[in-house]
Structures are given as C-alpha cells and as structure tokens.
Amino acid sequence: MNNHGWSYYLSATQATQLGMLFYVFMALIILIAIAHGPNPVKLPWEKYTVTASGSGKYFFGALLLSILVLWLSSSYVASVLVSKGIILEP
C-alpha cells in the first residue's frame, strides 16, 4: 500500500479489514440516507413546512453501535474471509 510516498506492506487480513471499513461505511451512508427520508416540500399555499427528519440521537446511537461491532468483530471476520480465499483490496 502506498500512502503519500511511504510504502506499507499489509497482510491479507489487514488488507481485508481496510476493505471492510470502506464497504461497511458506504452501506451505513446509504442506510442513513434512506432512514432520514426526503426533504419536505413546501406547497405554494403553505407558509412554513413541517420538518420531517430523523432524530439525531438515533443516528449517533447507530453510528456508535456500528463502530463498536466493527471494532470488535473485524479481525475475526477478516480472518474468516481470508481463510475462504476472499481478500478485499482497499
């Protein structure tokens, strides 16, 4: 892996963990966009729109839970994936 001119050598498990980070957070972004919902539309006769957005506490709770699960299980899951011949490149 080349990072700003420095070369790093990763094992297959470490490379898979980096790949998992990318795919998990992309899935989280899509899930958050779906859960938040569309922006409210203001009709011509309405003065103010009713905001229909999700609560921030659920977002941060889900984010902390997903980070905790990923932190605790990423090494095991990456080891299983590598043993099955699946290597996710970052």
Indicate the pLDDT class of residue 10, thresholds 50, 70 and 90.
confident
pTM of the model: 0.56
Alpha carbon distance 57, 5 (integer Å):
40
pLDDT tens per residue, range 28-68: 888 777 776 666 666 677 676 555 556 677 778 777 887 88
What is the rounded average pLDDT of the residues 13-38?
A: 80
The one-letter amino acid code at 65 reads L
